[in-house]
Amino acid sequence: MSCSDIITNVVSDLIFVLVITVLWLIGSWLFRYGRTGKARRFFGFQHQTQIKIYVSGFEHSGVATRKVVTALEYEAAVEMREALQHLSGRGIVHRIIDYLAGLVGQTMRYPEPDIEVSPLDEVREPPYTGSIILIGGPVANQLTKFYLQGSPEFRFNESTGKYQKRDGGEYRDIEPSNDVAVVEKRIIKGQVVILVHGFGEKQTRRATRHLINNWERLYNQHRTQEFGIRV
- Distance, CA of 124 to CA of 219 (rounded, Å): 30
Q: Which of 200, 222, 204 is nearest to 75 (CA)?
A: 204
User: Taking residues 136-163, what's their average pLDDT?
Assistant: 95
**Are 55 and 77 a contacting pair, CB within 8 Å?**
yes
Residue 223 pLDDT > 90, yes or no?
yes
Q: How confident is the model at residue 149 (pLDDT cuts 50, 70, 90)?
A: very high
Q: Which of 151, 159, 202, 158 is nearest to 181 (CA)?
A: 202
- Distance, CA of 166 to CA of 174 (rounded, Å): 10
pLDDT digits (tens, 9 = 90+) for 156-213: 999 999 999 999 889 999 999 999 999 999 999 999 999 999 999 999 999 999 999 9
What is the number of other CB atoms lying within 10 angstroms of the CB of residue 131? 24
**Are 81 and 163 a contacting pair, CB within 8 Å?**
no
Residue 216 pLDDT > 80, yes or no?
yes
Name the H helices within the chain: 3-33, 35-43, 71-87, 92-103, 142-147, 201-222
DSSP state of 53: E
pLDDT digits (tens, 9 = 90+) for 45-86: 877 778 899 999 999 988 888 899 999 999 999 999 999 988
**Are 54 and 143 a contacting pair, CB within 8 Å?**
yes
Q: What was the pLDDT predicted at 141?
A: 97
**Are 70 and 135 a contacting pair, CB within 8 Å?**
no
pLDDT digits (tens, 9 = 90+) for 5-36: 667 766 776 776 676 666 655 555 555 557 77
**Are 59 and 67 a contacting pair, CB within 8 Å?**
yes
DSSP state of 119: P
Q: For residue 174, what are the CA distances in angstroms to 136, 163, 171? A: 18, 6, 9
Contacts of 178 (CB under 8 A, 6+ apart): 199, 200
Residue 135 pLDDT > 60, yes or no?
yes
pLDDT digits (tens, 9 = 90+) for 80-116: 999 998 876 555 555 666 666 566 555 555 678 899 9
Q: What was the pLDDT predicted at 3?
A: 73
Q: For residue 70, what are the CA distances in angstroms to 60, 148, 155? A: 12, 21, 21
Q: What was the pLDDT predicted at 214?
A: 98
Q: Which of 146, 157, 133 is nearest to 211 (CA)?
A: 133
